[in-house]
Amino acid sequence: MNALQDSLLELIRRTSTEIPDDVHQAILDSLEREKQGTIAANAMKIIEQNIALAKNKSQPICQDTGSIIFYVDCPVGFDQMNFEQAAREAVKAATKKGYLRQNSVDSITGKNDGTNVGPGAPIVHCHQHASPEVSVRLVLKGGGCENVGAQYSLPNEKLKANRDLDGCRKVILDAVLQAQGKGCGPGILGVCIGGDRATGYEYSKQQFLRKLDDTNPNPELDKLERDIVATANKLGIGPMGFGGQTTLLGAKIGVLNRLPASYFVSISYMCWAYRRQGVTLEATGKVQKWLYST
């Protein structure tokens, strides 16, 4: 293993075993809100215990260690092929150490070769930028929450959702209703308004790179984000769908241009076990600093 592979292995370990600080704070806040003695409050207590135990034991927060999605921002001249090779090696090593479950299955034969490396696994998005800095962000997204994601095409007659922000609000709240507790709530929504079917979902997932306590620079979207969380938390779905005060911990909305004929709203749901960490790297491949946790 070289320095880059070691850094990526450590990134995977911390992502799988440690919840980021901003998410942890949101979970603690929601634990406060739930009425003591209810099954919702007891579920939040188990979640809180689980977060501490996973960190102390350096073992996965959730056994579904999910899709492995790397987001890399890099300068011109950065060797992407070398990075991808290092990412694959780090994933194999992390799987052997039990930080990742053997989680990648051949879709036709059903075979699981136990390495987590194969077509589409892991996923690496590289993006060139004008700075010399190399940053690597990692999201591990489990299947339970992935399965409750939804894509709506507006207008939607059944939901009376037109091609405007109010229509977007209606379909986003419908997605929360449909998800109930199935995506391991309290959840976090990543939403993309616009794009095509592929870029819409992709950009909705990129919203999970934002911190929960940030502010959307677009005031209209900021208002919508806050409204979605406040309204969802009035629905009484609650942690695990047990009923209760906290249905969502956050909602993050991004926008892409669309074709005149298309108006997609793509919604990705992230479970409370929101595994997202990031690092900047030195030229040697060593970790310079952590982006989401101290």
Partner 1 sequence: MIDLSTPVSEAAVRALKVGDEVTISGTIFTGRDAVHKYLHEGGQLPPGVSFRGGVLYHCGPVIIKDEQGNWKCVAAGPTTSIREEPYQWQVIRDFGLRGVIGKGGMGERTVEACKHHGCVYLHAVGGAAQVLADCIKRVPNVYFMEQFGAPEAIWEFQVVSFPAVVTIDAAGNSLHKEVLAASQAELAKYV
Give contact residues for partner 1 (rule: CB under 8 A).
Answer: 39, 42-43, 46-47, 49-50, 53-54, 57, 59-65, 98, 101-103, 105, 110-112, 114, 142-144, 147, 159-160, 169-170, 173-174, 177, 180-184, 231, 234-238, 240-243, 271-273
For partner 1, which is the closer residue by CB, 11 or 168? 168
Compare residues 59 and 151 and give the one whose CB is closer to partner 1.
59
What is the three-class DSSP state of 141?
strand
CA nearest to 149, candidates 275, 24, 26, 265: 265
What is residue 229's three-state secondary structure? helix
Tokens 């620079």 — which residue? 217
Nearer of residues 198 and 230 to partner 1, judged by Cβ = 230
> At closest approach, how far in Å is the CB of 139 from partner 1?
15
Angle between helices 39-57 and 3-17 (to 10 degrees): 160
Shortest gap between Cβ of 249 and partner 1 (angstroms)?
13
Nearest-angstrom CA–CA distance, 174 and 180: 10
Task: CB nearer to partner 1: give 114 or 132.
Answer: 114
Q: How many residues does the chain have?
A: 294
CB of 54 to partner 1, least distance (A): 5
Please state, in angstroms and as integers, the Cα–Cα distance from residue 176 to each residue in 17, 40, 61, 185, 231, following that order. 27, 17, 24, 10, 10
Nearest to partner 1 of 86, 179 (CB atom): 179
Token pair for 135: 């940053």
Q: Which residues contact 55 (CB under 8 A, 6 or more apart)?
A: 17, 18, 19
Which C-beta is closer to partner 1: that of 111 or that of 127? Answer: 111
- Our CB check for partner 1 shows the closer of 185 and 195 to be 185
State the nearest-atom distance from the C-beta of 59 to partner 1, in Å: 5
Nearer to partner 1, 135 or 245 (CB): 245
State the minimum distance, in angstroms, from the CB of residue 247 to partner 1.
8
SS3 state at 228: helix
Q: Write the Ramachandran bin of 236: left for phi over 0, alpha for psi from -120 to 50, otherwise beta.
A: left
The CB-of-62 to partner 1 minimum distance in angstroms stands at 4
DSSP 41-76: HHHHHHHHHHHHHHHHHT--SSS---EEEEEEEE-T
**From the CB of 286, what's the least distance to partner 1, in Å?**
28
Q: Is 230 helix (H, G, I), strand (E, B) or coil?
A: helix
Min CB(289)–partner 1 separation in Å:
27
